């Protein structure tokens, strides 16, 4: 089926600022409200504008599609996503058609435009998806290697299962919040000194994890599998994901069952879900997987995606400093393999499940995806623009992640996910 909305030649009658993340080839989905009207509804970003999809449907512009206007007057994208891949692809194609420069259906109706197009700065963005289950993978080889070196043994940094299994764990959905939601530094048990008993108090080694997440459509029945070949049809789209981590809590608690309170106090996602369709032009090949993987993890074609990522730290009342630049293409395991692995035992995937990549670290210094790695467990500092230094994240720091894919002059971006750390209470 043709993804007509991806045509690089398309231009919109809405003006698109240079270097915008949201040209007509993107059209990501989110949930917004305006400052004048409280009700939440589905929006699509274009340039500096938000398209009100509920109003678009109410005025009859989406009549030939599988949706009713009420599917878009919702607190979350889930009712829209429940219609599946084909319906949401047709929806994006139709929005593209309406906003294409030669189409006059809406372009010539100023009265409708007033009620359909809003400036992004008059809108509040909300958590886009009602997340049922959250799974966090651990699929960047460099990250797993770096952590293995620091937490265990440099000579055996990767555990024996790592290149056979897309390792993951079940996280907690309740504490995943919208970008811009401030949070308190977590408290918990730590054991800073091997010879002394554990201590309790505010986390001292607060860290971000640079990740991306994919959001699923409704999967299959319990007991069924999703193959690597079918996986694309079960993935709605992707967002930026900051999986905050308390390293001192993590080190003390993680044996034998893995992370718990070090990871579930908060995670932030970016407001716009970029569809997997919009990312298709940016596919790229992944690493050679050696040893050979089991047949259920084999895949055909380019299933990795070239998405440039960066993280900044902004101290209070100060400029931001970029502390790392990485790329989603550095993943060892791709989403198709993750989803195939997740369901190989019959585990059922639901609409709105969120699956994070794990920290995305590139192969060299300067591209690591966490302060744990950037400061190499606190052994070196990063200079900030204001003259201060960081090994981990301090109170009142804001951490900002950005990402975009770019090819042949078309840039499909994610905007940003940001969050400010408040002192522990």
Question: How far apart are alpha carbons 6 and 274 in whole angstroms?
Answer: 12
Q: How far is CA 362 from the centre of its chain?
A: 17
Q: Which is nearer to Ca ion, 100 or 243 (CB)?
A: 243
Question: What is the SS3 assignment for 273-322?
Answer: EEEHHHHHHHEECCCCCCCCCCHHHCCCCCCEECCEEEEEEECCCCCCEE
Q: By rule CB under 5 A, what count of residues binds Ca ion?
A: 3
| 207 forms part of the interface with Ca ion (CB under 5 A) | no
Burial label, 75 (beta-carbon count in 10 A; 0-12, 13-18, 19+): middle
| 209 forms part of the interface with Ca ion (CB under 5 A) | yes
Question: How far apart are alpha carbons 7 and 281 in whole angstroms?
Answer: 10
Query: In the block, which residue shows the tokens 């990549």?
Result: 357
Q: Contact region for Ca ion (CB under 5 A) — 80-88, 108-116, 208-216, 291-299?
A: 208-216
Residue 247 beta carbon to Ca ion: minimum distance, rounded to whole angstroms: 12
Does residue 419 contact residue 242 with C-beta atoms inside 8 Å? yes
Q: Which is nearer to Ca ion, 52 or 209 (CB)?
A: 209
Q: Which is nearer to Ca ion, 136 or 353 (CB)?
A: 136
Q: Which of 148, 146, 29, 130 is nearest to 87 (CA)?
A: 29
Query: In the block, which residue shows the tokens 């059922």?
Result: 348
Question: How far apart are alpha carbons 420 and 115 in whole angstroms?
Answer: 33
Q: Which of 155, 2, 45 is nearest to 411 (CA)?
A: 45
Residue 171 beta carbon to Ca ion: minimum distance, rounded to whole angstroms: 8
Q: Which of 365, 423, 416, 368 is nearest to 393 (CA)?
A: 423
| 136 forms part of the interface with Ca ion (CB under 5 A) | yes
Window 93 to 132, contacts with Ca ion (CB under 5 A): none
Could you tell me the end-to-end alpha-carbon distance of the chain, in angstroms, rounded to an integer?
53
Residue 172 beta carbon to Ca ion: minimum distance, rounded to whole angstroms: 12
* Cβ density class 310-337: b for 16+ within 10 Å, e for less: bbbbbbeebebbebbebbbbbbbbbbbb
Residue 356 beta carbon to Ca ion: minimum distance, rounded to whole angstroms: 6
Assigned token pair, 45: 């970003």
Q: Contact region for Ca ion (CB under 5 A) — 56-64, 204-212, 269-277, 381-389?
A: 204-212
Residue 393 beta carbon to Ca ion: minimum distance, rounded to whole angstroms: 15
Residue 415 beta carbon to Ca ion: minimum distance, rounded to whole angstroms: 21
Q: Which is nearer to Ca ion, 243 or 416 (CB)?
A: 243
Binding mask 228-247 for Ca ion (x = CB under 5 A): ---------------x----
What is the rounded (10 degree) CA torsion for 258, 417, 47, 122? 130
| 373 forms part of the interface with Ca ion (CB under 5 A) | no
* Residues annotated as catalytic (active site), given as ranges: 143
Q: Which residue is nearest to Ca ion (CB)?
A: 243
Q: Which is nearer to Ca ion, 258 or 378 (CB)?
A: 258
Q: Which is nearer to Ca ion, 136 or 248 (CB)?
A: 136
Residue 375 beta carbon to Ca ion: minimum distance, rounded to whole angstroms: 17
Q: Which is nearer to Ca ion, 81 or 176 (CB)?
A: 176
For Ca ion, the binding residues (CB under 5 A) are 136, 209, 243
């Amino acid at each position: 089926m043709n993804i007509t909305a991806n045509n690089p030649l398309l231009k919109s009658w809405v003006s698109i600022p240079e270097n915008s993340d949201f040209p007509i080839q993107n059209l990501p989905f989110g949930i917004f409200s305006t400052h004048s009207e409280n009700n939440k509804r589905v929006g699509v970003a274009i340039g500096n504008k938000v398209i009100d999809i509920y109003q678009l449907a109410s005025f009859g512009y989406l009549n030939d599609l599988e949706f009713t206007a009420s599917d878009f007057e919702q607190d979350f994208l889930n009712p829209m996503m429940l219609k599946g891949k084909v319906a949401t692809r047709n929806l994006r194609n139709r929005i593209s058609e309406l906003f294409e420069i030669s189409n006059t259906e809406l372009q010539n109706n100023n009265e409708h435009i007033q009620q359909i197009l809003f400036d992004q700065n008059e809108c509040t963005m909300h958590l886009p998806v009602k997340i049922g289950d959250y799974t966090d993978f651990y699929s960047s080889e460099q990250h797993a290697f770096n952590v293995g070196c620091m937490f265990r043994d440099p000579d055996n940094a990767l555990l024996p299962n790592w290149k056979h299994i897309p390792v993951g764990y079940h996280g907690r959905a309740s504490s995943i919040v919208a970008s811009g939601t401030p949070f308190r530094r977590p408290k918990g048990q730590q054991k800073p000194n091997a010879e002394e008993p554990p201590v309790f108090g505010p986390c001292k080694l607060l860290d971000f994890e640079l990740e991306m997440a994919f959001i699923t459509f409704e999967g299959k029945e319990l007991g069924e599998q999703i193959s690597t070949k079918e996986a694309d049809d079960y993935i709605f789209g992707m967002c930026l994901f900051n999986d905050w981590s308390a390293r001192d809590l993590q080190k003390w608690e993680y044996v034998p069952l893995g992370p718990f309170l070090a990871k579930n106090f908060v995670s932030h996602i970016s407001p716009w879900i970029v569809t997997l369709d919009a990312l298709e032009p940016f596919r790229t090949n992944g690493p050679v997987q050696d040893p050979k993987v089991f047949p259920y993890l084999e895949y055909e074609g380019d299933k990795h995606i070239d998405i440039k990522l960066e993280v900044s730290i902004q101290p209070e009342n100060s400029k931001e400093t970029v502390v790392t630049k990485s790329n989603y293409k550095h993943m060892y395991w791709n989403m198709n393999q993750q989803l195939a692995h997740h369901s190989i035992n019959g585990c059922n995937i639901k609409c709105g499940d969120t699956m994070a990549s794990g920290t995305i670290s590139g192969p060299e210094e300067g591209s690591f995806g966490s302060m744990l790695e950037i400061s190499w467990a606190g052994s070196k500092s990063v200079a900030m623009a204001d003259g201060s230094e960081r090994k981990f994240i301090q109170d009142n720091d804001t951490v900002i992640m950005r990402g975009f894919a770019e090819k042949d002059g078309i840039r499909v971006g994610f905007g940003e996910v940001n969050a400010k750390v408040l002192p522990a209470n």
